[in-house]
Amino acid sequence: MHKSTDLNTFSENIDTSVASLVEEMTLAEKVGQMTQVEKNSITPFEVAEYFIGSVLSGGGGNPTPNNPQMWADMVRAFQESALTTRLKIPLLYGTDAVHGHSNVKGAVIFPHNIALGATRDAALVEKIAYATGTELLAVGAHWTFAPALSVPQDIRWGRTYEGFSEDPMVVAQLGRAYVKGLQKKRDDDRWILGTAKHFVADGGTTWGTTRYMSWLSEVNWQAATPNWKIDQGNAVFDEETLRSVHLAPYRSAIDEGILSIMASFSSWNGDKLHGHKYLLTDVLKGECGFTGFLVSDWMAIDQLDPDFYTCVVTAINAGLDMIMVPYDFKRFVATLTEAVEKGDVSQSRIDDAVARILRVKLELGLFGQPFGNDALLDEVGSDEHRSLAREAVSKSAVLLKNEHQVLPLTKDISELVVIGPAADDIGLQCGGWTIEWQGGSGAITDGTSLLAGIQALVANAARVVYKRDGDFAKDERFTVGIAVIAETPYAEGAGDRADLVLSEEDITLLENARNHCDKLIVILISGRPIIVNMQLPLMDAFIAAWLPGTQGQGIADVLFGEKPFSGKLPFSWPRSLAQIPRKALDTDSEEPQWVLGYGLTT
C-alpha cells in the first residue's frame, strides 16, 4: 500500500509540491479542485474550463455501450482535458465499485459486504479489494467509494448489506483489510484510493426518523422520499456509543492509511453530519489524525438548508473538502466563489481543502501516471477474478439448518428438482448497486446462476429438473428439492422495509415444494436476515446465501461438498419482528432464531 518507505522518504517533497501548487493557484482553480461532477452533467471541455478536480460515475453512470473499453475511453477523455489546464493538475475519477467494479457490464461482481462478513476472512477480503482495484485501473478510474464501514443495528435498513456486520470489531477488521487491498501497490506503483463511508453512525439511525426535504428537486435521486423510514435518518444516542460502536472502524481504516472519507446523509442527535464541524473537523481531522480529504455524498449538502448559499458555507466550514455536486456544478462554483469573496468562507479553509486533495493526487502518483493501464483490460471479468469470487461465495454461505445431514448432496444423485425463479437469475444474485443504482433482475451482466452451477456439478445434468414457477403435477415426486427464494434488488432507502417476512409468493412456493419433495433444501438470497420462523418446519436444510454476485456456482460447491460450509452469521437472526432493531434482543424474553456467529459446518 501507499505507506511505503520510499513515500515516507519523499513526504517532504510532496508537502513542498503541495504548498507550491496552492500558492500558484487562482481562486477559480482552487474551487474547481473542490468540485466533483457526475459524468452525465459535464463535458470534457468543461472539465478544463472550470478546473474540475473530480468526475464520478454514479450508480448507472455508464457509457453506451457499457463495456470495459468504452469505460476506458470515457475516463481518458475527461483526464486528457484536465491535463490541458494551466497547471496540468490531473483529474481523480471516482465510482461506486462497492462489490467489484459493479457499474461495468462484464466485470466480476463479488458478494456484497454482508456476505464477506460471514467469511470472517480478512485475507480473502484483501484479495477481493485488490482484484476490484485491478478492474478499476483497467478503465482509468483511481478512486472507489468503498468500503462502507457502517455498523448496521437495524436490519430494516435498506443498506444493511453494505455493512460487514453488526459487530464493530468485525467491521473494523474487514474494513481495514479492504483498504489494504485497494491501496496495495502494484509493480508500476499504482494503487486505488478507497473511501471509508459514511461518516459516522449511518448504521445507527432510528426507524421513522428520516426527514423528507420538500425543497429538494425530484432530480436528486438520492434525496429521501416519504417512503424512506431509516436511511438518512437520525442516530439518537450518547457520544460514548458513537465512539465505541460507530467510530471504531474509522480509526482502524485511518491506521491503515485511508485518504478519503465520505460524510453521511444521516444525522446524530438531530444534527446533519454534512454540517457537523465537531465530528468532521475536531474529531476526525484533529483527534483521529485524518490527513486525507473529506468528500460529500450525492448532492447531500443541499439537505442542510433551503438556501443553497447557507448549505455551501456550512458544509465547507464544517470541514468538507470536496463537494459532490452531480448536476448543477456551475451553481456550486459560483456560490463558493462568492462565499470566499464575502469572507463567509476563509481563504485558509479553501487552501487546507485544496492541499488535502492535491496531496492525495500526488501520493496516488497521478501527476506521473494520470491514466489507467490498458494492459489490464483483459483482466476485467477474468477467470482468475471469477475464481476468487466463487471462493468468496462458498465461504460466505451460512448453513443454518441441516436435519439428518441432508447436506452435502452427492454429485451422482439420481434426480434433483430446482425450484423458483431466483435459482436462475444473475440480477437477483447481485442485488443493488449492480449495473444500475437499484440493480435489476435477469441477465443484467455476465455470470453463472446457481442453477447453472448445479447443472455443471451434477454427474448427469439431464437429471436436474428445473421448475421456475414451482408448479408440480399432482402425483409428481422428487427425492430432493432445492428451492431458491430472494429479495427483489434495492439500494439505500428504497430498501427500507418494516415487514421483514417472506412474501406470500415465496411461502406458496415453499409449501408446494414441500408437498412434492421428500427432502427440501431452501436457499435464501437476501441482503439481510428475513423472519422464517413459521416456515422452518418446511425445510430440511436452510442456507443464507446473502447477495453472492455473479458466481452462483460457489453455492453449488457447498451444496455438493466440493467446499465445506464454514460461514458464520455476521448479524443476529431474529425470531420475530419484535426482536428488531438489534437492541430489542437485549430485552426480549426469547433468544433470536440464531445468534451472531452461528453457522453449521460440513
Going by C-alpha positions, the residue among 588, 549, 567 that lies closest to residue 107 is 549
Q: With helix as H, strand as E and coil as C, how does 122-139 read?
A: HHHHHHHHHHHHHHHHHC
Q: What is the pLDDT of residue 332?
A: 98
pLDDT tens sequence across 158-205: 999 999 999 999 999 999 999 999 999 999 999 999 999 999 999 999
Q: With contact defined as beta carbons under 8 Å apart, do 231 and 492 qualify?
A: yes
Q: What is the pLDDT of residue 223?
A: 74
282's CB contacts (< 8 A; 6+ apart) are none
Q: What is the pLDDT of residue 224?
A: 80
Q: Report the alpha-carbon distance of residue 78 to residue 48 in Å, rounded.
A: 9
Average pLDDT in the 381-389 region?
A: 98
How far, in Å, are 119, 161, 416, 597 from residue 400 at the CA level? 14, 18, 21, 11
**Helix/strand/coil for 436:** strand
Q: What is the pLDDT of residue 220?
A: 62
Q: What is the pLDDT of residue 3?
A: 39
When mean pLDDT is compared across 25-29, 133-137, 208-212, the lowest value belongs to 208-212
Q: Report the alpha-carbon distance of residue 270 to residue 78 in Å, rounded.
A: 39
297 is catalytic: yes
Q: Report the alpha-carbon distance of residue 227 to residue 211 in Å, rounded.
A: 10
Average pLDDT in the 78-92 region?
A: 98
DSSP for 140-196, please give it: T--EE---B----S-TTSTTGGGSS-SSHHHHHHHHHHHHHHHT---TTS---B--E
When mean pLDDT is compared across 224-228, 372-376, 490-494, 519-523, the lowest value belongs to 224-228
pLDDT tens sequence across 430-453: 999 999 999 999 999 999 999 999
Q: What is the pLDDT of residue 217?
A: 60
Q: What is the pLDDT of residue 566?
A: 98
Residue 1 has pLDDT above 90, yes or no: no
Residue 379 has pLDDT above 60, yes or no: yes
Q: Report the alpha-carbon distance of residue 325 to residue 310 in Å, rounded.
A: 15
Q: How far apart are the first and last CA of the chain?
A: 36
Q: With contact defined as beta carbons under 8 Å apart, do 416 and 465 qualify?
A: yes
pLDDT tens sequence across 537-562: 999 999 999 999 999 999 999 999 99
215's CB contacts (< 8 A; 6+ apart) are 306
Catalytic residue among 297, 305, 379, 506: 297
- Sheet with 293-295: list strands edge to edge: 196-199, 260-263, 293-295
In the structure, what pLDDT confidence band is assigned to residue 127 with cuts at 50, 70 and 90?
very high
- Residue reference for cell 431509516: 230
DSSP for 357-416, please give it: HHHHHHHHTTTT--S--GGGGGGTT-HHHHHHHHHHHHHH-EEEEEGGG--SPPTT-S-E
Which of the pair, 262 or 221, is modelled with greater confidence? 262
The angle, 0 to 180 degrees and rounded to 10, between the axes of the packed helices 383-396 and 122-138 is 150
Q: Report the alpha-carbon distance of residue 299 to residue 331 in Å, rounded.
A: 12
Query: What does the mean pLDDT of the chain come to?
Result: 96
496 is catalytic: no
Indicate the length of the chain as a whole number. Answer: 602
Q: Rounded to the nearest 5 degrees, what angle is found at the Cα of 39, between the Cα atoms of 35 and 40?
A: 120
pLDDT tens sequence across 231-268: 999 999 999 999 999 999 999 999 999 999 999 999 99
pLDDT tens sequence across 276-335: 999 999 999 999 999 999 999 999 999 999 999 999 999 999 999 999 999 999 999 999
> Which domains does the chain possess?
5-378 (3.20.20.300), 389-586 (3.40.50.1700)
Catalytic residue among 162, 363, 379, 492: 492
β 196-199/143-144 pair status: unpaired
Q: With contact defined as beta carbons under 8 Å apart, do 358 and 508 qualify?
A: no
Q: Report the alpha-carbon distance of residue 376 to residue 291 in Å, rounded.
A: 30
441's CB contacts (< 8 A; 6+ apart) are 425, 427, 428, 488, 489
Q: Report the alpha-carbon distance of residue 44 to residue 60 in Å, rounded.
A: 19
Q: What is the pLDDT of residue 9?
A: 37
β 398-402/541-546 pair status: antiparallel
When mean pLDDT is compared across 8-17, 35-44, 78-87, 376-385, the lowest value belongs to 8-17
Q: Report the alpha-carbon distance of residue 133 to residue 101 in Å, rounded.
A: 8
